[in-house]
Amino acid sequence: MNRKKLKTIPKFKSEDEEREFWATHDTTEYLDWSRGVRAKFPNLKLSTRAISLRLPVSLLEDIKIAANKKDVPYQSLIKVWLAEKVREKALSK
């Protein structure tokens, strides 16, 4: 099989340095993604932080109605909608 020679991934002094590197370099020059294996972390707990958010009562009621129709907790639905919007904005840049 004809595999191209991969470059060596440099050592990074910080996560910021690594983030900057990968923002400006093509990973396919450093990794053979065809040999990748999907990692699973079944016991990983995402870190969360409680916040206080003031919403108009009518908006909160509309969210609760939508959540009820989907049979999910309204706070979970808010998180899903926020994540979707953030992803949309990130992809549109």
Which H or E run contains 32? none
Sorted by sequence, the CB contacts under 8 Å of residue 64 that are 6+ apart come out as 74
Question: How sure is the predictor about 92, in pLDDT bands with cuts at 50, 70 and 90?
Answer: confident
21, 24, 26, 28, 63 from 32: Cα distances, Å:
18, 18, 12, 6, 44
Indicate whether 93 pLDDT > 70.
Answer: yes
Q: What pTM, to 2 d.p., does this model score?
A: 0.52
What pLDDT is recorded for position 3?
Answer: 67
Query: Over the stretch 34-84, which tens digit does the pLDDT of each residue have?
Result: 888 988 888 888 888 999 999 999 999 999 999 999 999 999 999 999 999
Q: Count of alpha carbons within 13 Å of 24, Cβ hemisphere only?
A: 6
What pLDDT is recorded for position 17?
Answer: 95
What pLDDT is recorded for position 2?
Answer: 52
Question: How sure is the predictor about 4, in pLDDT bands with cuts at 50, 70 and 90?
Answer: confident
